[in-house]
């Protein structure tokens, strides 16, 4: 069991949790994730390790409340314990000095983007970050991203903050202006689909970090499978990062919806039960 050390809210629905996990803190690299289970009846969900402090022996997760487990996690207080936490999982990001990197994060995808931005900067790249969300409240980690970026462009769908428009418009702006050597794309599947179409159009090598549904996270079940370059790959062990231009995002979008009704029902039941308490 791992203890929650601290907790803060980035917005009403996005929470940042620091958890005691000395071994994971030491072993993790940018791009790695953990599997988390809250309570004896809990399910296992994947969450990116946003940052780690080896001295303190802690890791930080940034979680968006979307369903039962993410809500349960957000309700934990410092001193509480996480029932199960395992990691670090997945393949680490290949970080090289390539020149100029365009880092694109949509919504809570900015959380997993942060450690990559940090590593890319450390490797000597010029990093331009485009972060986007539906509105101002959903823009997270802006300051942290700024600390490791040469430039940050903020886009909101409704124009309540930064520039009004979709993430792809922000990306186009940068691409029109200067040569981009590599793009990193993380966010909701639909955003990743269009962002990677944009970089494909301009022949910019791109990686996307996929957020498929997972059960074990160790390669045992195949729930996380996606088609990449015509081949079936497991996101938890072969990924989560893949060549964005090879990913079949349409298939991934359909598979993400596979449990939607059951999850929705569970969430409604959970919310009703919490109200009664």
Partner 1 sequence: MATNIEKLKQERDAAWRDEIRKSKKNKERTDIPRVHMPEAPAMERRHSYVEVNSGLITEQAVLEASRCLDCPDPTCISGCPVEINIPKFIKNIERGEFLESAKVLKETSTLPAVCGRVCPQEKQCEASCFYQLKLKKEPVAIGYLERFAADYEQQSGQISIPEVAQNNGVKVAVIGSGPAGLAFAGDMAKFGYKVHVFEALHQIGGVLKYGIPEFRLPNRIVDVEIESLQKMGVEFENNFIVGKTATIDDLREEGFKGFFVGSGAGLPRFMNIPGENLVGILSSNEYLTRVNLMGASQKGMDTPVVCGKNVAVIGGGNTAMDSVRTALRLGAEKAMIIYRRSLEEMPARVEEVKHAMEEGVEFLTLCNPVEYIGDSTGRVKQMRVQKMVLGEPDSSGRRSPVPLEGSEYLIDVDTVVVSVGVSPNPLISQSLPNLKVSRWGTLEVNPDTLQTSIPDLFAGGDIVRGGATVILAMGDGRKAAASMHDYLSNNQA
Ligand X SMILES: Cc1cc2nc3c(=O)[nH]c(=O)nc-3n(C[C@H](O)[C@H](O)[C@H](O)COP(=O)(O)OP(=O)(O)OC[C@H]3O[C@@H](n4cnc5c(N)ncnc54)[C@H](O)[C@@H]3O)c2cc1C
- C-alpha torsion 125→23→7→240, nearest 10: 50
Q: Which of 5, 63, 133, 226 binds ligand X (CB under 6 A)?
A: 63
Closest CA to 115 of 189, 174, 62: 62
Minimum gap (Å) between residue 87 Cβ and ligand FES: 13
When binding is defined by CB under 8 A, the residue of 44, 146, 200, 245 that contacts partner 1 is: 44
Binding mask 236-265 for partner 1 (x = CB under 8 A): -x-------------x--xx-xxx--xx--
Distances (CA, A) of 205 to 28, 48, 99, 138, 250: 25, 23, 12, 28, 20
- Cis, peptide link before residue 123, omega less than 30° from 0: no
Residue 86 found at the interface with partner 1 (CB under 8 A): yes
User: Strands across the sheet with 84-89, in order?
Assistant: 44-48, 33-37, 84-89
With residue 133 as reference, give the H or E element that holds it: strand 126-133
Contact between 67 and ligand X by CB under 6 A: the answer reads yes
Segment holding 105, helix H or strand E: strand 100-106
C-alpha to C-alpha distance for 70 and 64, rounded to whole angstroms:
7
Judged by beta carbon, residue 173 or residue 215, the one nearer ligand FES is: 215
The count of chain residues that interact with ligand X, using the rule CB under 6 A, is 26
Question: From ligand X, partner 1, ligand FES, none, which one binds at residue 10 (CB under 5 to 8 Å depending on kind)?
Answer: none
Q: Which is nearer to ligand FES, 120 or 252 (CB)?
A: 252
Q: Is 214 in the site for ligand X (CB under 6 A)?
A: yes
H or E element: which one contains 9? Answer: strand 2-11
- The answer to whether 87 contacts ligand X (rule: CB under 6 A) is no
The residue among 119 and 214 lying less far from ligand X, judged by its C-beta, is 214
Verify binding: residue 216, ligand FES, rule CB under 6 A.
yes
| Chain residues that interact with ligand X, rule: CB under 6 A | 33, 45-48, 62-64, 66-70, 108, 111-112, 211-214, 240, 256-257, 260, 263, 267
| Chain residues that interact with ligand FES, rule: CB under 6 A | 214-217, 219-224, 234, 236
């Amino acid at each position: 069991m791992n203890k929650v050390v601290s907790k803060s809210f980035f917005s009403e629905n996005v929470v940042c949790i620091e958890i005691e996990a000395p071994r994971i803190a030491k072993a993790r690299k940018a791009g790695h994730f953990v599997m988390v289970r809250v309570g004896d009846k809990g399910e296992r969900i994947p969450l990116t390790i946003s940052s780690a402090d080896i001295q303190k022996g802690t890791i930080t997760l940034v979680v968006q409340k979307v369903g039962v487990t993410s809500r349960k996690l957000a309700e934990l207080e410092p001193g509480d314990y996480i029932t199960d936490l395992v990691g670090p999982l997945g393949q680490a990001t290949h970080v090289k000095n390539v020149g100029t990197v365009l880092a694109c994060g949509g919504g809570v995808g900015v959380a997993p983007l942060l450690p990559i931005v940090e590593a890319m900067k450390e490797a000597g790249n010029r990093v331009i970050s485009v972060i986007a969300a539906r509105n101002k409240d959903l823009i997270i980690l802006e300051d942290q991203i700024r600390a490791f970026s040469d430039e940050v462009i903020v886009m909101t769908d409704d124009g309540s903050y930064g520039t009004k428009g979709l993430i792809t418009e922000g990306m186009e702006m940068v691409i029109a202006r200067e040569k981009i050597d590599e793009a990193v794309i993380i966010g909701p599947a639909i955003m990743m689909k269009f962002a990677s179409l944009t970089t494909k159009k301009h022949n910019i090598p791109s990686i996307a970090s996929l957020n498929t549904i997972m059960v074990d996270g160790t390669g045992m079940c195949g729930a996380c499978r996606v088609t990449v370059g015509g081949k079936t790959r497991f996101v938890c062990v072969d990924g989560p990062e893949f060549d964005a231009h090879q990913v079949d995002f349409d298939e991934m979008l359909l598979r993400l919806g596979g449990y939607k009704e059951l999850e929705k029902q569970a969430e409604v039941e959970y919310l009703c039960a919490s109200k009664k308490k």
